[in-house]
């Protein structure tokens, strides 16, 4: 009784924080559990072997207690990348960025830089809440606010080193990733595209440039300016209530 | 009497009249036996002339009968083509009214001439000729040029709308007219329910593709475009299926004989006919794709295979009373993807143009028939029937649009607004399809056929002229959401990223979107279908080896002229004091967009603009650029393999000087500025930074120069477009020349790239970027 009561309280709390309805929260919870393998948290997927070794060694220290050897090793071996449960994500050219976005402290509102090691369900919901459709009943200010939030999410995806600016290198990175799906495009052309885009951004944001001026990178305000003409509302949202259970059983 | 008239006229007048009369005779003679020609005056004249005993060998003879029919058909088609030329010469006209307006007018003109000179009833268009020869090209063309990706993304809505819309319209109009017919005052008592239903089904066949050109002018958004397109595509098939079914019902003579079993059977038949047709089409599509795999040595028969198989699918489906239209559509859609990769460049172009031509001819003929039959005595005007038909057409279309879209909007992420729905409602323009079906009603079953024909003609005229002309202004007035033609790459990039992000998030949260279906299909496609259907080794044509040397020479030349012309840069370009940053030229943006669109795996492609009556001119560019692509490929290969170019260090350290910054060495800065094609105040002020672009935009700016290297670069640049947008003929992977390229970067805040090398390297880099870029 108490447990159920606190669970629904939690749900209501989450509802309040993230704006999802209880149905959606439940569905997302199911999905979260599937992704995390019934663990309470999803760990940041390790792709870098060095990182892996480091983490392994960290676990190994704890494993040295003989009793816990077996289960720890199992845990070690199960240090799989949780987001591998999503096979279709493999095809996505920007998957690493997407996965990273889940662990980004800025998106989780936990800090201004860095990556979290793991996220719990509330964090998961926080990220998902960026993709809620903009409610038409909200007033102007709220619409503007939520639009800004979405754009900020996007901005963080570009700005991987959290310095508040999208530099040319980061931009190039993004474009290369975007085009990585096609083997016929070389990095060079991706770079050219990124360069061209940066040029354009500079022109939009800074207008006429003095000869000495250096365009350092796209700040968030500039980013907003670029996005002014495009309506993000219809693009950056996912219909959460339409999830089919079919998709959940792979 | 007529004979005397001819005899008295001067020879020239005679000839002119002869031409006009030929037309009339063509119409009369088509599908009629030759006996009837004897009644016509000119023939009588000739007959009179030849009936005289032949005493001498005549120096000048005329045998018109022999060529009459093809002669006159050709004249008709030519007349329509001339009219079309005139139509397009006046540039604003295509945007104002659909081209079918023009065709109808031409037809009416011909009909008028026939009527005026002949006083004979208009010609008969045979059912078999229409269904066997005139209809398939039109449908094939529609299926072949269909933009597949947007179509399949919206397929749910399109199917829902097209199928149910056609059914609702047909049944609604039929039933309402039946009730009208019951009213004694209108004198329509003898038109029974089945006939009304049949009429309803044929009058609901819309041909909105005709208005797509007008839409394009107004630049409506992609979704709207696709709905209309999809409706047009499927509508023909559904209507014909309904029509045939109801004809079969009508043939059962007694209305009372029809039991519920029959109706159920009819419904089941409807489904089977539709699906069976599609199945046939797909099978034939695969077969033809498979065969084109082996045709590399006789590429001249490739178009033949494509057309014959499509036609065969139509005929095979028709044999089994399945829907040939859906079969040929499915065949075209299936075949297109694989065939395009297998056939040679010229065959590809041939297929496209020939298809357009055939469909154009068919449509022209049908419209001319229609115009001819307008002007004649073949009418029965019944005010009530006609007015109510018109009214009901509009009413039922409105009902079906608003009801169906209301429902389907619940399931769409991108719902159609009321304005969109109004546009869809208003685009219900009837066309050749309805007319043909009305004309081909069997007279035995439909004693009041003339009334039906008249009513159909009125509806067609009304919709084509009045709706067709006013829909453009209406769209503009309603300010339907337009495609925002993105001019900037940034937007393009961001939107692509957004799409991918959205897809990724949907995947993460387990959202079953149709992307999954498409991905699964793509995997299946890649693993099995492509292996079977696509030609394996694209042949290395002899051109390649031939051009190898040329490329080398050209490369060397480019470098040399580059070195030499660098000093000359300053002078011509001093005039171009470009302040600030120039946006990339639209061509660059286009090419970038092409690159981006062709490489995004799931993101919906922008709908190709579709014009029913001609092809977009850019396709011709592709053909011309293939040679250049090949040349450029060989250059790349030779460079990669040979490293035989005598100059410079490997490219790894190269990069373009990006943005202005006070570079350490003013001298090199000066050199850089000189080398920059796109330079600001350059030579006069070597220290002043210039704004340079990277290689891609270089290409655009290179267009301004007179150096010889520009031309190939420019065309290569455009060749890039072609390269990306379809048949990628080289499958070689790109490698970096000379190993890893490392970008020498300054500390982060300044984003730029350092270009420190001497001139030759710059040119080398130019070459490389040209090579790798394209």
Report the C-alpha gap between B300 and B316 in whole angstroms.
25
Residues of B within 8 A of A159 (CB-CB) are none
B316: pLDDT strictly greater than 90: yes
ipTM of the complex: 0.78
Following CA atoms A55, A61, A66, A70 in sequence, which dihedral angle do they give, to the nearest 10 degrees? 0
Of residues A99 and A231, more confidence is placed in: A99
Report the C-alpha gap between A243 and A87 in whole angstroms.
16
Q: Does A11 touch chain B (CB under 8 A)?
A: no
Highest mean pLDDT among A90-104, B322-336, B524-538, B633-647: B322-336
Q: What are the angstrom distances between the C-alpha of B483 and each of B498, B499, B615, B748?
A: 17, 16, 21, 37
Structure tokens at B116: 């005026």
Which residues of A, range 155-194, sit inside 8 Å of B by Cβ? 157, 163, 165, 167-169, 174-175, 178-179, 181-189, 191-193
Q: Indicate the average pLDDT of chain A.
A: 68
Which of the four pLDDT bands, split at 50, 70 and 90, describes residue A99?
A: confident
A155: pLDDT strictly greater than 90: no
Which residues of A, range 130-159, sit inside 8 Å of B by Cβ? 131, 154, 157
Q: Where is average pLDDT lowest: B249-263, B441-455, B685-699?
A: B685-699
CA nearest neighbour of B683 among B576, B581, B761, B765: B576
Which of the four pLDDT bands, split at 50, 70 and 90, describes residue B315?
A: very high
Q: State whether A193 and B768 contact (CB < 8 Å).
A: no
Q: Does B658 touch chain A (CB under 8 A)?
A: yes
Of residues B208 and B421, more confidence is placed in: B421
Which residues of A, range 23-52, sit inside 8 Å of B by Cβ? 28, 31, 34-35
Following CA atoms A208, A214, A215, A220 in sequence, which dihedral angle do they give, to the nearest 10 degrees? -110
Which pLDDT belongs to residue B393? 92
Q: Which residue of A has its CA nearest to B734?
A: A186
Report the C-alpha gap between B272 and B139 in whole angstroms.
20
Q: Where is average pLDDT lowest: A211-220, B11-20, B393-402, B631-640?
A: B11-20
Which pLDDT belongs to residue B293? 82
Nearest-CA distance B91 → chain A (Å): 31
Which of the four pLDDT bands, split at 50, 70 and 90, describes residue A210?
A: low
Which of the four pLDDT bands, split at 50, 70 and 90, describes residue B60?
A: confident
Which pLDDT belongs to residue B134? 86
Report the C-alpha gap between B611 and B86 in whole angstroms.
17
Q: Which residue of A has its CA nearest to B765?
A: A188
B283: pLDDT strictly greater than 90: yes
Residues of B within 8 A of A222 (CB-CB) are none
- Contact yes or no for B294/B344 (Cβ under 8 A): no
SS3 content of chain A, % helix, strand, coil (to 5): 60, 5, 35
Structure tokens at B203: 């009058």
Q: Where is average pLDDT lowest: A42-56, B158-172, B475-489, B652-666?
A: B652-666
Which of the four pLDDT bands, split at 50, 70 and 90, describes residue B34?
A: very low
B724: pLDDT strictly greater than 50: no
Question: What is the rounded average pLDDT of the residues B466-495?
Answer: 70
Residues near A4 by beta carbon (within 8 Å), at least 6 away in sequence: none
Highest mean pLDDT among A96-110, B210-224, B270-284: B270-284
- Which of B696, B724, B769 faces A193 most closely, judged by CB atoms? B696
Q: What is the pLDDT of residues A157-194, one digit of tens each?
A: 888 787 878 788 888 888 787 777 665 566 777 777 77
Nearest-CA distance A29 → chain B (Å): 10
Question: What is the rounded average pLDDT of the residues B444-464?
Answer: 87
Nearest-CA distance A173 → chain B (Å): 12
Which of the four pLDDT bands, split at 50, 70 and 90, describes residue B11?
A: very low
Q: State whether A131 and B751 contact (CB < 8 Å).
A: no
Which of the four pLDDT bands, split at 50, 70 and 90, describes residue B281?
A: very high
In chain B, domain spans: 127-478, 487-537
B156: pLDDT strictly greater than 50: yes
At how many degrees (to 10) do helices B99-118 and B468-478 cross?
160
CATH number for the segment(s) B127-478: 1.20.1530
Q: State whether B750 and A216 contact (CB < 8 Å).
A: yes
CA nearest neighbour of B26 among B107, B127, B87, B128: B107
- Which of A83, A200, A213 faces B490 most closely, judged by CB atoms? A200
Of residues B341 and B710, more confidence is placed in: B341
Q: Look at the block and give the residue holding tokens 């009561």.
A: A5
Which residues of B, range 728-767, sit inside 8 Å of A by Cβ? 728, 733-734, 736, 741, 745, 748-752
Residues of B within 8 A of A128 (CB-CB) are 505, 509
Which pLDDT belongs to residue B395? 93
Percent of chain B clearing pLDDT 70 (strictly above): 54
B367: pLDDT strictly greater than 70: yes
Q: State whether A174 and B508 contact (CB < 8 Å).
A: no
Structure tokens at B137: 């090209």
Question: What is the rounded average pLDDT of the residues B75-104?
Answer: 80
User: Which ranges of B509-643 would DSSP assign to H, the alpha helix?
Assistant: 514-524, 530-533, 542-573, 586-599, 618-642
Q: State whether B600 and A238 contact (CB < 8 Å).
A: no
CA nearest neighbour of B194 among B209, B207, B175: B175
Q: State whether A86 and B490 contact (CB < 8 Å).
A: no
Which pLDDT belongs to residue B403? 92
Q: What are the angstrom distances between the C-alpha of B17 and each of B11, B21, B67, B77, B119?
A: 10, 6, 17, 19, 15
Report the C-alpha gap between B326 and B335 in whole angstroms.
14
Q: What is the pLDDT of residues A103-147, one digit of tens each?
A: 777 777 777 777 777 778 888 788 888 777 766 666 778 778 888
Nearest-CA distance A49 → chain B (Å): 22
- Which of B509, B510, B769 faces A188 most closely, judged by CB atoms? B769
A 10 A CB-CB count for A155 gives: 21
Question: What is the rounded average pLDDT of the residues B356-367?
Answer: 84
Highest mean pLDDT among A49-63, B149-163, B313-327, B584-598: B313-327
Residues of B within 8 A of A246 (CB-CB) are 512
Supply φ then ψ for residue A115, to 5 degrees: -120, 140
Which three-class secondary structure state does DSSP give residue B18? Answer: helix
Of residues B395 and B295, more confidence is placed in: B395
Q: Does B353 touch chain A (CB under 8 A)?
A: no
Q: What is the pLDDT of residues A192-209, one digit of tens each?
A: 777 777 777 777 766 665
Report the C-alpha gap between A15 and A37 in whole angstroms.
24
Which of the four pLDDT bands, split at 50, 70 and 90, describes residue B681?
A: very low
Q: Does B605 touch chain A (CB under 8 A)?
A: no
Q: State whether B769 and A192 contact (CB < 8 Å).
A: yes
Which of the four pLDDT bands, split at 50, 70 and 90, describes residue B246?
A: confident
Which of the four pLDDT bands, split at 50, 70 and 90, describes residue B679?
A: very low
- Which of B506, B579, B588 faces A238 most closely, judged by CB atoms? B506
The conformation of residue A134, written as its DSSP 8-state character, comes to P
Question: What is the rounded average pLDDT of the residues B687-713?
Answer: 34
Supply φ then ψ for residue A125, to 5 degrees: -65, -35
B397: pLDDT strictly greater than 90: yes
Q: Does B500 touch chain A (CB under 8 A)?
A: yes
Q: State whether B659 and A91 contact (CB < 8 Å).
A: no
CA nearest neighbour of B317 among B359, B266, B281: B281
Q: What is the pLDDT of residues B466-477, one digit of tens each?
A: 888 888 788 777
Beta bridge partners, A118, equal A43
Nearest-CA distance B286 → chain A (Å): 26
Which pLDDT belongs to residue B282? 93
Q: State whether B488 and A204 contact (CB < 8 Å).
A: yes
Nearest-CA distance A65 → chain B (Å): 37
Q: State whether B510 and A243 contact (CB < 8 Å).
A: yes
Question: What is the rounded average pLDDT of the residues A40-58?
Answer: 58
Residues of B within 8 A of A20 (CB-CB) are none
Q: Where is average pLDDT lowest: A214-218, B58-62, B395-399?
A: A214-218
- Which of A92, A181, A244 faces B504 most closely, judged by CB atoms? A92
A224: pLDDT strictly greater than 60: yes
Q: Does B768 touch chain A (CB under 8 A)?
A: yes
DSSP string, B218-286: HTB-HHHHHHHHHHHHHHHHHHHHHHHHHHHHHTT--GGG--HHHHHHHHHHHHHHHHHHHHHHHHHHH
Q: State whether A193 and B772 contact (CB < 8 Å).
A: no
The conformation of residue B131, written as its DSSP 8-state character, comes to I
Which residues of B, range 691-720, sit inside 8 Å of A by Cβ? 691, 693-697
Highest mean pLDDT among B109-123, B545-559, B587-601, B612-626: B109-123
- Contact yes or no for B198/B224 (Cβ under 8 A): no
Percent of chain B clearing pLDDT 90 (strictly above): 6
Which three-class secondary structure state does DSSP give residue A185? Answer: coil
Q: State whether B728 and A197 contact (CB < 8 Å).
A: no
Nearest-CA distance B659 → chain A (Å): 7
């Amino acid at each position: 009784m108490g447990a159920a009561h606190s669970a629904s309280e939690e749900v209501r709390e989450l509802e309040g924080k993230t704006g999802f309805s209880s149905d959606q929260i439940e569905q997302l919870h199911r999905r979260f559990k599937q992704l995390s393998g019934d663990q309470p948290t999803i760990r940041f997927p390790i792709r870098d072997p060095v990182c892996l070794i480091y983490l392994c060694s960290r676990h190994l220290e704890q494993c040295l207690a003989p009793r816990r050897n077996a289960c720890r090793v199992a845990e070690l071996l199960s240090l799989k990348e949780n987001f591998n449960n999503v096979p279709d994500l493999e095809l996505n050219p920007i998957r690493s960025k997407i996965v990273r976005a889940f662990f980004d402290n800025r998106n989780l509102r936990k800090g201004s830089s860095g990556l979290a090691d793991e996220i719990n369900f509330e964090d998961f919901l926080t990220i998902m809440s960026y993709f809620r459709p903009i409610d038409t009943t909200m007033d102007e200010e709220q619409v503007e606010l939520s639009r800004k939030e979405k754009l900020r999410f996007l901005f963080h995806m570009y700005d991987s080193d959290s310095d508040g600016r999208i530099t040319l290198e980061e931009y190039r990175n993004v474009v290369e990733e975007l085009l990585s799906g096609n083997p016929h495009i070389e990095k060079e052309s991706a770079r050219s595209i990124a360069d061209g885009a940066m040029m354009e951004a500079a022109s939009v944001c800074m207008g006429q440039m003095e000869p000495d001026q250096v365009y350092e990178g796209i700040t968030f305000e500039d980013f907003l300016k670029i996005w002014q003409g495009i309506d993000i509302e219809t693009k950056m949202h996912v219909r959460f209530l339409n999830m089919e259970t079919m998709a959940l059983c792979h | 009497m007529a004979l005397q008239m001819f005899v008295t006229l001067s020879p020239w007048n005679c000839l002119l009249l002869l031409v006009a009369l030929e037309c009339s005779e063509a119409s009369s003679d088509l599908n009629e036996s030759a006996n009837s020609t004897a009644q016509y005056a000119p023939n009588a004249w000739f007959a009179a002339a030849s009936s005289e005993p032949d005493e001498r060998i005549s120096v000048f003879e005329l045998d018109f009968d022999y060529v009459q029919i093809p002669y006159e058909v050709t004249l008709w088609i030519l007349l329509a083509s001339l009219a079309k030329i005139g139509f397009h010469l006046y540039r604003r006209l295509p945007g104002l009214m659909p081209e079918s307006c023009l065709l109808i007018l031409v037809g009416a003109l011909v009909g008028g001439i026939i009527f005026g000179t002949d006083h004979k009833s208009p010609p008969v268009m045979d059912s078999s000729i229409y269904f066997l020869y005139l209809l398939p090209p039109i449908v094939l063309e529609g299926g072949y040029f269909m933009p597949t990706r947007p179509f399949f993304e919206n397929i749910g809505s399109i199917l829902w709308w097209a199928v149910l819309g056609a059914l609702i319209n047909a049944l609604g109009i039929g039933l309402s007219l039946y009730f009208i017919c019951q009213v004694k005052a209108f004198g329509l008592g003898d038109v029974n329910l089945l006939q009304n239903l049949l009429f309803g089904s044929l009058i609901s066949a819309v041909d909105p593709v005709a208005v797509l050109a007008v839409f394009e002018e107004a630049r409506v958004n992609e979704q709207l475009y696709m709905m209309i397109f999809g409706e047009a595509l499927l509508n023909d098939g559904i209507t014909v299926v309904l029509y045939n079914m109801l004809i079969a019902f009508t043939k059962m003579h007694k209305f009372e004989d029809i039991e519920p079993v029959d109706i159920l059977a009819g419904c089941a038949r409807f489904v089977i006919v539709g699906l069976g047709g599609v199945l046939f089409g797909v099978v034939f599509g695969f077969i033809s794709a498979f065969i084109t795999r082996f045709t590399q040595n006789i590429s001249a028969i490739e178009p033949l295979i494509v057309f014959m198989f499509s036609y065969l699918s139509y005929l095979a489906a028709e044999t089994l009373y399945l829907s040939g239209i859906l079969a040929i559509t499915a065949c075209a859609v299936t075949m297109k993807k694989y065939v395009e990769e297998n056939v040679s460049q010229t065959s590809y172009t041939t297929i496209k143009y020939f298809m357009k031509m055939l469909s154009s001819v068919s449509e022209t003929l049908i419209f001319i028939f229609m115009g001819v039959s307008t002007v004649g005595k073949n009418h029965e005007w019944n005010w009530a029937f006609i007015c109510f038909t018109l009214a009901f057409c509009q009413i039922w279309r409105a009902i079906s649009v608003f009801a169906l879209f209301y429902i389907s909007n619940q399931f769409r992420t991108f719902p159609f607004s009321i304005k969109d729905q109004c546009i869809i409602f208003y685009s219900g323009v009837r066309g050749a399809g309805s007319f043909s079906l009305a004309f081909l009603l069997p007279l035995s079953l439909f004693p009041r056929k003339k009334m039906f024909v008249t009513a159909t003609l009125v509806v067609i005229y009304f919709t084509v002229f009045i709706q067709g002309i006013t829909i453009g202004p209406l769209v503009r007035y309603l300010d339907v959401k337009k495609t925002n033609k993105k001019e900037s790459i940034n937007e393009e990039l961001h939107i692509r990223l957004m799409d991918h992000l959205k897809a990724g998030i949907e995947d993460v949260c387990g959202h079953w979107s149709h992307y999954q279906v498409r991905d699964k299909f793509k995997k299946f496609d890649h693993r099995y279908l492509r292996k079977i259907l696509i030609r394996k080794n694209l042949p290395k044509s002899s051109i390649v080896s031939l051009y190898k040397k040329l490329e080398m020479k050209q490369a060397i030349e480019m470098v040399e002229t580059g070195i030499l012309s660098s000093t000359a840069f300053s002078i011509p370009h001093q005039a171009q004091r470009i302040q600030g940053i120039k946006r990339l030229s639209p061509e660059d943006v286009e090419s970038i967009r092409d690159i981006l669109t062709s490489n995004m795996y799931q993101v919906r492609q922008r709908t190709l603009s579709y014009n029913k009556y001609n092809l977009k001119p850019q396709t011709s560019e592709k053909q011309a650029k293939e040679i250049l692509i090949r040349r450029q490929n060989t250059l790349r290969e030779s460079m990669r393999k040979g490293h035989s170019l005598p100059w410079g260090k490997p490219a790894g350290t190269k990069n373009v000087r990006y943005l202005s910054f006070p570079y350490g060495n003013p001298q090199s800065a000066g050199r850089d500025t000189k080398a920059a094609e796109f330079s600001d105040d350059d030579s006069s002020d070597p220290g002043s930074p210039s704004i340079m672009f990277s290689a891609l935009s270089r290409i655009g700016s290179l267009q301004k120069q007179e150096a010889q290297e520009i031309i190939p670069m420019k065309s290569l640049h455009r060749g890039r477009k072609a390269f990306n947008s379809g048949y990628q003929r080289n499958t070689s992977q790109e490698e970096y020349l000379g190993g890893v390229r490392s970008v020498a970067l300054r500390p982060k805040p300044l984003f730029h790239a350092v270009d420190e090398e001497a001139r030759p390297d710059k040119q080398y880099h130019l070459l490389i970027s040209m090579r790798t870029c394209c």
